[in-house]
Amino acid sequence: MDAGLKVVPLRVERQIKSKERVSKHGEVFTAEREVNAMLDLVKQETERIESRFLEPACGDGNFLIEILRRKLAVCEERVLKRQFTQLQYEKHAVWAVSSIYGIELLPDNAESCRRRLYRYFCQQYERLFGDACKSACREVVAYLLGRNIIMGDALTYRRVDHPDEWIVVSEWSFIGDGKVVRRDYNFSYLVATGQGGDLFSDTPCETFPPVYFLNLSHRAYEN
């Protein structure tokens, strides 16, 4: 072997955190190759900004981060082709984030997933627009991830952080002039009535007035 060459070990993806977690929760993370292979089966949907995805055992986000990557790549391509202004990118990138949902039993995974998705969004946003990035846009993304990545048990339909509460999933519908209508649904009802089509049924448990997309926050829904 040439003395000038350095052997670099292949990167090994971590698919388990501990044997205890595997035994107790059946926690095994899906490798990147398998994630991409499965998502490529619905490639057209992963590249459609408004297409919704829900992962009922999302871990720390291996599937969701790849879905977000593909959606934001579409937004970036439209910016580079001068089809999107910065504001149009922000609207569609927020739309992309709002279409991604995860339910996770283990609190550390749920929090890690939120941080991972948020960090990736910020990296892409700042790479494209630098100092022109808006703190309001980052805050909206953080808010959406806080609602869409849910600490819960998809089998019992209950939250982990509030065991006496049912899991509620919010639908974010973008309408004219950049406004968003939020509708809340009980996850148990969605599972019971789902017909394999859209994630959401026609009977929300609560509907809220439209809010401009850059104003989405807890404050927007306070009475």
Q: What does the pLDDT look like over 35-81, one tens digit per residue?
A: 888 898 999 999 999 999 999 999 999 999 999 999 999 999 999 99
- Contact (CB, 8 A) for 143 and 217: yes
- Whether 95 has a pLDDT exceeding 70, the answer reads yes
Q: Render pLDDT for 133-179 as a digit per residue (tens, 0 to 9).
A: 999 999 999 999 999 999 999 999 999 989 999 999 999 999 988 99
Range name among 13-17, 125-129, 186-190 with the lowest pLDDT average: 13-17
Q: How much is the pTM?
A: 0.84
Q: Indicate whether 22 pLDDT > 50.
A: no
Q: Please tell me the distance from the alpha carbon of residue 209 to that of residue 140, in angstroms, as a whole number.
A: 17
**173-196 confidence digits (pLDDT tens):** 999 889 999 999 999 888 766 555
The Cα 171–Cα 148 span in angstroms is: 9
**Where do the structural domains in the chain lie, given as residue ranges?**
23-221
